[in-house]
């Protein structure tokens, strides 16, 4: 039996497939997941599980280099935005229009995880990165400028 971390087998397996620059989306209960998407549906009931719990668990298992959310999060759900900034403090943050998050971004995602969240604009994209010290910290290895600050 697995000792810790994410116990949901499909989600754990999906996380294991992610590589550098892959996009995983963690979305609310009402998100229109495109047909054919790799959908991991965790929703049981309203706010079970909630968005922050699922994002926290995923954050413990993958390296997140970038976070993308709808521009409405910044203006209309600032508590979520503050939580995201604190949780993913090493990541680069970007915004897209709500329509882009629901459309173009969803089609780019390698995995889409549906939560039970009833949270306005509760749809977050996580771009996978690399553990810079582990990849570039070896003797004689020169890290590119964009990673040097993370060593």
Residues involved in catalysis: 20
CB burial class (10 A; 0-12, 13-18, 19+) of residue 95? middle
Rounded Cα gap, residues 109 and 31, in angstroms: 13
Contacts of 9 (CB under 8 A, 6+ apart): none
């Amino acid at each position: 039996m697995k000792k810790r971390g994410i116990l949901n087998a499909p989600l754990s397996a999906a996380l294991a497939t992610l590589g550098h620059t892959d996009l995983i989306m963690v979305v609310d209960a009402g998100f229109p997941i495109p047909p054919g998407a790799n959908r991991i549906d965790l929703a049981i009931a309203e706010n079970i599980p909630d968005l922050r719990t699922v994002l926290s668990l995923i954050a413990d298992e993958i390296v997140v280099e970038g976070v993308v959310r709808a521009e409405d999060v910044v203006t209309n759900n600032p508590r979520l935005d503050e939580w995201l900034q604190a949780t993913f403090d090493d990541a680069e943050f970007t915004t897209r229009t709500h329509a882009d998050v629901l459309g173009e971004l969803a089609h780019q995602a390698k995995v889409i995880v549906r939560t039970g969240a009833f949270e306005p604009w509760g749809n977050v994209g996580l771009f996978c990165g690399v553990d810079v010290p582990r990849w570039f910290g070896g003797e004689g290895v020169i890290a590119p400028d964009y990673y040097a600050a993370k060593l």
